[in-house]
Structure 1
Amino acid sequence: MLLKSSIALLACASCALAHGNHDQTPVSGPHKSLWYNTLPGDGGTQADSVFSGISTFGRLPYWPCLASEDEKYDIAFIGAPFDTGTSYRPGARFGPSGIRQGSRRLNLYGGYNVPMKSNPFNFWGKVIDCGDIPVTSYDNHYALQQIENGHNALLTRTPYTSASEPGISKSGKTLPRVITLGGDHTITLPLLRSINKAYGPISVIHFDSHLDTWKPKVFGGAPSHQAAINHGTYFYWASEEGLLANDSSIHAGIRTTLSGPSDYDNDGYCGFTRVEAREIDTIGIPGIIKRIRDRVGTKNPVYLSIDIDTLDPAFAPATGTPETGGWSTRELRTIIRGLEGINFVAADLVEVAPAYDTNAELTTMAAADVLYEVMTIMVKKGPLTRSVSEGEYTVSEELSKMLLEAEKMEL
């Protein structure tokens, strides 16, 4: 009997060693302990429950960044509540608040990203939620200027980490990263204008079911200059304004109908190539990842723009222009993780319109989880210093196997 007890104890000890130290520190918070038999201040602090408190992305600290420059950061979340450039369903002005609501559980168990082997909430720098850019809903020209100016004000500040080290921006400085919560996809044009001021022409990875490079006369007829700038034409204008690096951008997840084959010709003119959604059935996830990585490389600065309608409406019904035949949430998250090591200087996720969601908040949770992957790969890359960006980057073993599998499929 004693021998059996000893074996059981040894087994428990081995189990504990295998799973690490379980003496973890409880999540602290803004409240003094309210346990009845402690004096104020004697019981440590208490965090809000996952279902209580003010909603920020992933329950991150909030700071009104456009009102005060006192708080530094390495990654900032900012909302752009704009939806008057949409062609079908409005409602994405509520996207930023919806995504924050859907992100409440991201940090429930500590935030550790198991496939990426990293915790984006506990890392070398600082990440905060800066709230929303104050965007007018009455004048699109004015609103887009507000978004550009607000984004650029955050993008060009001194970061919390590596501020004195040379970076890859035009000024030679290391800059923080900004992740924007949309908003309809029109907001990407002012965001690219902001990026251009800081980095010059940039490569874009664009996840979407639509091309968004349509000529204005084809998409909407362009009865006025302002009407010509919308969520289907913003890449056309970005190309015309010289905001895109030559022939180094790519769409992924495309499956829309077209006005005709000439739309593809115009897409190429704007500097894009494509991975169609249906190609996941032939080249698989590894092939899609390899196609994207080969197009943009790992040396130059890259902007990431994600339309939630990349996902099939079964997984994300709450969007402005849904298209069937899309990817699952699991597939998109895996593809995003496969972009580890790319020089992402900023990102956006757009077209979440919570009014069309289910009671289970499927779309807003999916959007938050996708951005969790984006946040993680930014953290794993490290600060955007010149040495980090120009050095060799070793991809994870899992990603290395996927890329090798894709090469074999090509052969």
Structure 2
Amino acid sequence: MHYPVFIVLGALSAAAHSVQLDAGIQDFRVISPAQEDLTWLEKYGAQIDQPFSGPLSFSHLPYSRCLENPDEAFDIAILGMPFDTGVTYRNGARFGPYAIRSGSRRQRESRGYTMAWGTNPYEHGLKIIDCGDVPVSPFDNALAVDQMEVAYSTLLKHDTVNATTPSGTPRIVSLGGDHTIVLPILRALNKVHGPISVIHFDAHLDTWPAYAGTTTDQSRVTHGTFFYLAQEEGLLANNSIHGGIRCKLEGVSDLQNDQEVGFQIISTDDIDDLGIPEIVRLIRARIGDSPVYLSVDIDVIDPGSAPATGTPEAGGWTTRELKRIIRGLAGLNFVGADLVEVSPSYDHAEITGIAAADFIHDFLSLFIAEEPPQPLHRLPVVTEKDEL
């Protein structure tokens, strides 16, 4: 069999240095003699990671082992806490930080602008980096909780590049891990801010005193009891609030206990009866000017949209609804945030990891915004005038 050979005339043929035929496969190589010995950098420029390639850091951010590098200054840090031995049902959230970072691969600093926020959080002069994961023990929960507290406290002592909090400390976005991680986080934040308020988006209260079978102090520490323990330790202000609650309870006693811990409840169904603007108003009125910590359990989202979680509850909010609520909270005095309970072994096509990564991007914009953004389509259209 004969294979045709095509010769392209003009500029291309003048640059063609070699045309090789091998086993009937045409291999056209357009290489000028002057380019044969060029290095990658000389010929193609910087080694740019594709969305699907390169080291795994959140949104391709610079990565640093901040816990062992006290001279690493930053304004906002992404920190993984791969702890999941405080769960009461399905485990696997130790792989949550990996799943969230993987879900962020299509995000990057150079494409961070969103119409919803009207800004790119990476273009405000702040240094935002990925500080990796806390190497928590998977065998000893008491040790792991201490490791997480020490790690968080260590990062709070790092210098900032452009201090954006009244305390001058950096802000940390934690990737869970199960919800237990909030107890050591609140212990660390208390050393800087004293008692703080919490905005808690979750299907579950997480204010229970203990679970059946509790026999030791350490066995009280679970992903459903950490707020109760935090209140016992004086870590919480008395004006915290839940959003998206829809779990089954033992009875009214659970609600009474929740109030005593210092929380007000916005249920999942309230979004239908009150609407998003009223929910935002209630949260802002409840928190006021208090230092506030944002904690998002991915199970606040309906499992049809975010199945990868350990304690799924039907009838949750949509991703879009929660994103709109978060935007409405801009301007509050946030001291940190987390997203927890992503268990990727229960995911489908990475939809939970992708949603979680998108929420983290919202957190970065939330930390920077001084007020809720005005939707882009409502802004006045500015047209250039021709003065001639």
**TM-score normalised by the shorter chain: which range applies?**
0.7 to 0.9
SS in 1 for 2:151: helix
Change (3 A) 1:311 1:235: same
SS in 2 for 1:66: helix
- Looking at structure 2, the residues matched to 175 and 279 of structure 1 have their Cα atoms a distance apart, in angstroms, of 36
- Looking at structure 1, the residues matched to 35 and 56 of structure 2 have their Cα atoms a distance apart, in angstroms, of 28
Tell me the amino acid that sits aligned with residue 344 of structure 1.
F
- Looking at structure 1, the residues matched to 37 and 73 of structure 2 have their Cα atoms a distance apart, in angstroms, of 36
Aligned equivalent of 1:292, options 283, 299, 302 = 283
Aligned equivalent of 1:352, options 338, 342, 345 = 342
After superposition, the C-alpha distances for 1:161-206 in whole angstroms (9 at most, x for unaligned) are 149xxx533xxxx111001000000110000000101110000000
Tell me the amino acid that sits aligned with residue 243 of structure 1.
L
- Looking at structure 1, the residues matched to 105 and 246 of structure 2 have their Cα atoms a distance apart, in angstroms, of 31
Aligned equivalent of 2:350, options 340, 361, 369 = 361
Tell me the amino acid that sits aligned with residue 371 of structure 1.
I
Give the greater-gyration-radius structure (CA). 2
Aligned equivalent of 1:338, options 322, 328, 333 = 328
- 1:397 and 2:374 aligned: yes
Give the drift of 1:313. Answer: 0.3
Asked if the contact 1:156–1:198 (Cα under 8 Å) also holds between the matched residues in 2, the reply is: no
Which residue matches 1:227?
219
Give the drift of 1:113. Answer: 1.9
TM-score in terms of structure 1 length: 0.80
Q: How many correspondences in the alignment? A: 342
Give the drift of 1:351. Answer: 0.3
Aligned equivalent of 2:187, options 179, 184, 193 = 193
RMSD of the alignment, in Å?
A: 1.9
Runs (4+) off by over 4 Å: 35-38
Give the drift of 1:223. Answer: 1.9
Give the drift of 1:124. Answer: 1.7
Aligned equivalent of 1:209, options 203, 215, 223 = 203
After superposition, the C-alpha distances for 1:266-325 in whole angstroms (9 at most, x for unaligned) are 00000000100011111111111111111102x221101100000000011000100000
Aligned equivalent of 2:252, options 256, 261, 264 = 261
TM-score in terms of structure 2 length: 0.85
Asked if the contact 2:117–2:375 (Cα under 8 Å) also holds between the matched residues in 1, the reply is: no
Which residue matches 1:182?
176
1:241-256 residue pairs with structure 2 within 5 A?
241-246=233-238, 248-256=239-247
Provide structure 2 residue ranges, at least 5 long, that are not aligned to the other structure: 1-33, 379-388
Tell me the amino acid that sits aligned with residue 242 of structure 1.
G
Give the drift of 1:69. Answer: 1.9
Tell me the amino acid that sits aligned with residue 315 of structure 2.
G
1:300-339 residue pairs with structure 2 within 5 A?
300-339=290-329
Which residue matches 1:93?
94
Change (3 A) 1:205 1:36: farther
Asked if the contact 1:168–1:199 (Cα under 8 Å) also holds between the matched residues in 2, the reply is: no
Give the drift of 1:70. Answer: 2.6
SS in 2 for 1:227: helix
- Looking at structure 1, the residues matched to 286 and 255 of structure 2 have their Cα atoms a distance apart, in angstroms, of 17
Q: Percent identical across equivalent pairs?
A: 52
Asked if the contact 1:144–1:190 (Cα under 8 Å) also holds between the matched residues in 2, the reply is: yes
After superposition, the C-alpha distances for 1:114-173 in whole angstroms (9 at most, x for unaligned) are 11111112222100000000100111001000000001100222111149xxx533xxxx
Asked if the contact 1:50–1:108 (Cα under 8 Å) also holds between the matched residues in 2, the reply is: no
